[in-house]
Amino acid sequence: MLSILAAIQNVALQQPQKTAYQTNRESLTYSELWYLSDCVAQYLLAQDLKRKQPIVVYGHMSPLQIVAFLGAVKAGHPYVPVDSSTPSERLQLIIEASEACMLLKTESLSAPFFIPEVEVSDMITQPSTISVEPSSWVQERDIYYIIYTSGSTGKPKGVQITANNLAHFVAWMNKHFPLQESGVFLNQAPYSFDLSVMDLYPALVNGQTLYAITQEQIAYPKSLFDALATAEIRVWTSTPSFAKMCLMNKEWHQELMPALDTFLFCGEVLPVSVAQELMQRFPQATIFNLYGPTETTVAVSFVEVSSALLEQFDQLPIAPLSEPNLSLVEDGEIIISGPTVSAGYLGAPDLTQKAFPTINSQRIYKTGDIGYEKDGYLFFSGRKDFQVKLHGYRLEIEEIEKQIGNLPPVSSCVVVPVLKDGEIVSLNAFVVLREPLLESAFKMTKQLKSLLSEYLPSYMIPKAFKYMDTLPLNTNGKVDRKGLAVMETV
């Protein structure tokens, strides 16, 4: 199996001056990446650290974070990426839960975390000429990284991905997508979100340039689109929500990004309307809808979006039925097998056993996603944990969102349950309309409720509707359901 580190080393030897990583402020060549990560590894090896103990790497879209990731694994330690948007209580929780032995940072932190903290830049002041021996690197079965799930559904869990898991994932990506041809890869997802792994390692292993955009740029559209216009991006990886946000800018099209030929989407439903608009605006690009959870290393299946597929279905499939590692169990839950199934949750054997049972002598992951089969494809129909009970009725939140989303005035919608004393008492709908609201919100809500009553029973119709220009995204670029759940509606 491919060794991620050996492949990157090979690139560093073959094309040392090629840019490995770039932001609007900084850049790093492959030789710098290799040399600086050796410095970090040597620093770590010189400390009295327990072998294989996790190391937290804290920061945001900085070349030194990538240096720290590689430095940690070269010294035999898994890394835990934590984005600097993370509140300090959560960082504390991750440090405690992972039993991390060190905190490497590329940004300053105000609170002390009671483990050794080192600025990555301070680890590379010593000139180093000796490479770290591959025998010190994380080995195939060792944990390579640990990503803490966002906790949007329950308590955060530390998903452990081995070097082998990652190598199989990258090999799968190389097999199915045009990643070897020279070009720039967009890096939009922060490193604490495993979607970032979809561009990070395929780019580095293939000797490509990663172009990372920061949250600060995303918050200022002018700076974002200036970057997109000049970065010569060929491969785009993001959540569908992020692309949807970009589509709001009429200038975002092929002429602005002539090199763009591949869209890789994962992490959420890719709405048909988004795919259609992308096809119109980027006629030279191929769009792929990928599916997978963090627990099976980023993504395990995909479909190529074609006009025929868009005409055939009102929802995009997530896999062909021939996909060997995906299947449905009796209650419709999607289960995943294969070489990218994670080693389990760190320090949580009970949770691991429950989520990763062995069926027919095969270790599998129970996704909690519900699927159905139709016309040779597998479709995602919602998450088990989005089934809620309201006044005794079992409801599928996604079914309600789908129906609201299908109403002519609506562009997109998210429905969240309203809790009182831990019990769901009603539903709130957050709606983005196709046209600006000209009449009163009250009238629009009356109209939407009346339209909905043709498709949904009254107990499934949300009580309150709130109209927004865009749906808020969390730092991962997914729709921020948690934030909406605590938002007041009128």
Ligand X SMILES: Nc1ncnc2c1ncn2[C@@H]1O[C@H](COP(=O)(O)OP(=O)(O)OP(=O)(O)O)[C@@H](O)[C@H]1O
- Per the listing, tokens 């608009």 go with 277
Least CB distance to ligand X at residue 446 (A)? 32
Task: Identify which of residues 38 and 401 has a Cβ nearer to ligand X in the complex.
Answer: 401
* Termini Cα distance of the chain: 56
CB of 283 to ligand X, least distance (A): 23
Of 264 and 452, which has the nearer Cβ to ligand X? 264
Strands 410-420 and 393-396: unpaired
φ/ψ bin of 374: left (φ > 0), alpha (ψ from -120 to 50), beta (otherwise): beta
Q: Which is nearer to ligand X, 254 or 474 (CB)?
A: 474
- Closer CB to ligand X, residue 104 or residue 275? 275
Distance CA 305, CA 318 (A): 10
Give the tokens for residue 368: 């909690």
Q: Which residues bind ligand X (CB under 6 A)?
A: 149-153, 266-270, 289-291, 293-294, 318, 367, 369, 380, 383
Residue 235 in contact with residue 290, Cβ under 8 Å?
A: no
C-beta of 197 vs 212, nearer to ligand X: 197
User: How do beta strands 301-305 and 286-291 pair?
Assistant: antiparallel
The angle at the Cα of 228, spanning 62 to 207, to the nearest 5 degrees, equals 55
Query: Annotated binding residue at 19?
Result: no
Taking the complex as a whole, the smallest distance from the CB of residue 149 to ligand X amounts, in Å, to: 3
Closest separation between CB of residue 298 and ligand X, Å?
Answer: 8
Q: Has 298 been labeled as part of a binding site?
A: yes
- Residue number of the CB atom closest to ligand X: 149
> Closest distance between ligand X and the C-beta of residue 269, in Å?
4
CA atoms within 13 A on the CB side of 183: 20
CB of 297 to ligand X, least distance (A): 10
Q: 3 a known binding residue?
A: no
Q: Is 194 labelled a binding residue?
A: yes
Residue 466, marked binder: no
Q: Measured from the CB of residue 354, what is the shortest distance to ligand X in angstroms?
A: 15
Task: Residue 54: name the closest of 145, 135, 117, 163 by CA.
Answer: 145
Q: 264 near 246, Cβ under 8 Å?
A: no
Which is nearer to ligand X, 20 or 195 (by Cβ)? 195
Nearer to ligand X among residue 8 and residue 395 (C-beta) = 395
In angstroms, give the least distance from the CB of 157 to ligand X: 7
What is the nearest approach in angstroms of ligand X to the Cβ of residue 151?
Answer: 5
Is 478 annotated among the ligand-binding residues? yes
Task: Report CA Rg, the chain.
Answer: 23
Pick 67 or 143: Cβ nearer ligand X: 143
Shortest distance (Å) from residue 239 CB to ligand X:
9
Please tell me the distance from the alpha carbon of residue 148 to that of residue 159, in angstroms, as a whole number. Answer: 6
Cβ distance to ligand X smaller for residue 268 or 277: 268
- Judged by beta carbon, residue 150 or residue 174, the one nearer ligand X is 150
Residues marked as binding for ATP? 149-150, 369, 478
In the annotated binding site, the residues are 149-150, 194, 298, 369, 478
- Binding residues for D-alanine are 194, 298, 478
